[in-house]
Amino acid sequence: MEDLFREKPSSFNARLHKGRIEILQVNVGKLCNLACVHCHVEAGPAKMRENMDQKTAEAVIRFLDRFKIKTLDITGGAPEMNPRFRFLVTEARKRNVHVIDRCNLTVLFLEGQENLAEFLASNQVELIASLPCYLRENVDKQRGKGTFDESIEALKLLNCLGYGEKDSGLVLNLVYNPVGPHLPPCQAELEKDYKERLSRDFGIIFNQLYAITNMPITRYEKYLRALNQYDSYIELLNQSFNPVTLEGLMCKNTLSIGWDGRIYDCDFNQALDMEMRNGKPFTIFDLNLKNLEGTEILTGNHCFGCTAGAGSSCQGALQ
């Protein structure tokens, strides 16, 4: 059992430890066709430099083999824009590794990605797709004008291929994150609303909704500060600290790999350059996973973003 807070803390000082690593989450880079205001990796169309190369992608596959990892979770940026994306997917699938693609949906309509949806379906890639709201105004406000309509078209295309259909083996999960500086509402209730609205308005189906709390770091921190809402948001996260969420935190069973092969406890630590090290940084090229179990996770006040309210992780609420 972790050390738990007895009272609501003002700084995050819970001691967390790595458990058995079950998921390798690989951030292949910061290149993205969008530049959303809440983006904790500060991705965007100009981020050409920070992207995974072939040598590192091959090291990822060797790592899957060596440590018998069963889930590869590929994120970015828009991970599909990295030329190594399809290599990672096909090599992982050859090994029967479950692959997750964190997809912004609009990427399906980029030049050069015409057969992307079919590629994902034929490899039975699970999609975790961002759709911060079922209302056009809110999505366009957070992700850019026209994003909602393109996302809806992408979801229809994915449904046509069988994504979201029960027993099709093609899983389509959606991600909600708040448009304003507040916590997500109840995930189950929101999923019901999403299913009703998307089905009624557009005939769209999907499997699950993940409600994710916005992290007050990097680009979202700057956005909140510009609106003079940073301090009140931090206060809200602190005051909403829920010790029950500590048990299920994703940093315990996930290892996060950066575009250059460096290793982190989670994608948020990666965005903050809080790399795992033992004298020198661990990398995918030389890491022995067995040495990690039981080691202490690097934490900071941003961890309140994962532990507020119902908790938050890349798989949605923790409670």
Residues that bind ligand SF4 (CB under 6 A): 32, 34-36, 39, 41, 43, 76-78, 104, 130, 249-251, 265-266, 268-269, 297, 299, 302-303, 306
**Residue 141 C-beta: closest distance to ligand SF4, Å:** 13
What is the rounded distance in angstroms from the CA atom of residue 172 to the CA atom of residue 163? 6
What is the rounded distance in angstroms from the CA atom of residue 209 to the CA atom of residue 164? 11
**Residue 104 C-beta: closest distance to ligand SF4, Å:** 4
**Residue 239 C-beta: closest distance to ligand SF4, Å:** 17
Kindly list the distances between the CA atom of residue 95 and the CA atoms of 63, 71, 79, 123, 290, in Å, as whole numbers in the listed order.
Answer: 12, 11, 20, 12, 21
Across the chain, which distance is largest between two alpha carbons, in Å?
Answer: 56
User: By C-beta, is 203 or 300 nearer to ligand SF4?
Assistant: 300
CB-hemisphere CA count at 13 Å for 196? 6
**Residue 107 C-beta: closest distance to ligand SF4, Å:** 8
Name the phi and psi angles at 317, rounded to 5. Answer: -65, 150
**Residue 245 C-beta: closest distance to ligand SF4, Å:** 9
User: By C-beta, is 208 or 299 nearer to ligand SF4?
Assistant: 299
Closest by Cα among 59, 53, 101 to 76: 101
Q: Do 95 and 65 touch, CB atoms closer than 8 A? A: yes
User: By C-beta, is 61 or 84 nearer to ligand SF4?
Assistant: 84
User: By C-beta, is 2 or 165 nearer to ligand SF4?
Assistant: 2
User: By C-beta, is 29 or 261 nearer to ligand SF4?
Assistant: 29
Q: What string of DSSP letters covers 41-102?
A: T--BTT--SSB--HHHHHHHHHHHHHHT--EEEEESSSGGGSTTHHHHHHHHHHTT-EEEEE
DSSP assigned state of 240: T
**Residue 149 C-beta: closest distance to ligand SF4, Å:** 16
User: By C-beta, is 61 or 73 nearer to ligand SF4?
Assistant: 73
